[in-house]
């Protein structure tokens, strides 16, 4: 569901970009990028069962 | 200021500089269309060939969509040098470069997972390479094109010295609606691909927070 949510966030990013709102574009871009990076880190480290 | 005018006039004299904005416009459209083609190919492999995308494949799709957003931003804001304090080219190509770097990291991780001799890799190879290897190539090309466009791309102030804020909302709307029909076609295709991915990913994950590492079914329809 998190992945589907990020795709939805990308769809909103497309809409705000087409409507030419610069600040919302920047906000949704970094929201998407941060979510992708965090999800990547989760999938990369989950199986390692790290004890931090 | 006079020095700037000299620079402007010297560029305007050269015929290549007059043609360059059109070439850049075509390159930007081609970039978005190429990403659409790659994502369409991934959807074809998923639905026609019947292979389930793994979490890293899904993340690479997201990064590809995000890297195409930079080109879309420059296409829609191309009439202006600056928008709400941001440089149009800087923001557009900066978005593409950041997204491509993240995507390249994800693709490299998946390549390294399956790089050992004897490992069959994930999914079927296409044209001799797996989809994640092609994804790495795509992200490298995005980085290369974005870098080249930042170096050789036109500076809008030389051709259209207008800021978004300096223009009336009516003129701004007219310029927006003046986007060509093929631009809108590409944006619609791109939007449709994102929307298909929303439902495809939701079907695969079901009501679970994360996707399974080795998916073998659409969990939404199984539960």
State both tokens at A49.
């069962």
Tens digit of pLDDT for each residue in B33-84?
A: 999 999 999 999 999 998 999 999 999 999 999 999 999 999 888 777 777 7
Q: Which pLDDT score, from 0 to 100, does residue B159 have?
A: 47
Residues of A in contact with B83 (CB under 8 A): 20, 22
Whole-model pTM: value is 0.86
CA distance B103 to B135: 8
Q: Is the pLDDT of residue B4 over 50?
A: no
Q: Is the pLDDT of residue B7 over 50?
A: no
More confident site: B11 or B116 = B116
Residues of A in contact with B194 (CB under 8 A): 7, 10-11, 14
Least Cα separation, residue B126 to chain A (angstroms): 24
Q: Which of B69, B102, B211 sits opposite A3 (nearest CB)?
A: B211
The per-residue pLDDT of chain B, averaged, comes to: 83
Contacts for A9 with CB less than 8 Å, ≥ 6 apart:
A28, A31, A32, A35
A29–B66 C-beta distance less than 8 A: yes
Tens digit of pLDDT for each residue in B150-161?
A: 888 765 544 454
* Domain boundaries along the sequence of chain B: 30-222
Packing angle between helix B131-152 and helix B15-47, nearest 10 degrees?
Answer: 160
Tens digit of pLDDT for each residue in B21-31?
A: 778 888 999 99
CA distance B194 to B223: 25
Least Cα separation, residue B208 to chain A (angstroms): 6
């Amino acid at each position: 569901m998190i992945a589907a949510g990020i795709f939805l966030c990308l769809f909103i990013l497309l809409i705000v970009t087409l409507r030419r709102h610069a600040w919302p574009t920047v906000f949704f871009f970094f929201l998407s990028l941060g979510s992708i990076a965090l999800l990547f880190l989760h999938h990369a480290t989950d199986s390692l069962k790290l004890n931090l | 200021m006079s020095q700037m005018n000299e620079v402007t006039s010297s560029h305007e004299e050269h015929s290549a500089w007059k043609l360059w904005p059109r070439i850049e416009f075509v390159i930007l459209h081609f970039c978005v269309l190429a990403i659409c083609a790659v994502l369409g190919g991934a959807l074809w492999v998923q639905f026609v060939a019947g292979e389930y995308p793994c979490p890293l494949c899904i993340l690479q799709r997201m990064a590809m969509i995000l890297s195409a957003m930079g080109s879309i931003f420059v296409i829609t804001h191309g009439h202006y040098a600056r928008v709400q304090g941001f440089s149009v080219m800087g923001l557009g190509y900066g978005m593409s470069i950041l997204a491509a770097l993240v995507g390249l990291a994800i693709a490299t991780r998946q390549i390294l997972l399956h790089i050992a001799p004897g490992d069959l890799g994930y999914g079927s190879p296409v044209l001799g390479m797996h989809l994640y290897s092609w994804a790495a190539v795509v992200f490298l090309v995005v980085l290369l094109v974005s870098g080249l466009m930042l170096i050789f791309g036109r500076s809008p102030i030389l051709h259209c010295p207008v800021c978004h804020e300096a223009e009336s909302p009516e003129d701004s709307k007219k310029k927006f609606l003046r986007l060509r029909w093929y631009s809108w076609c590409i944006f619609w295709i791109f939007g449709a691909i994102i929307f298909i991915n929303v439902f495809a990913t939701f079907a695969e994950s079901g009501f679970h927070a994360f996707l399974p590492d080795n998916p073998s079914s659409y969990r939404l329809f199984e539960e």
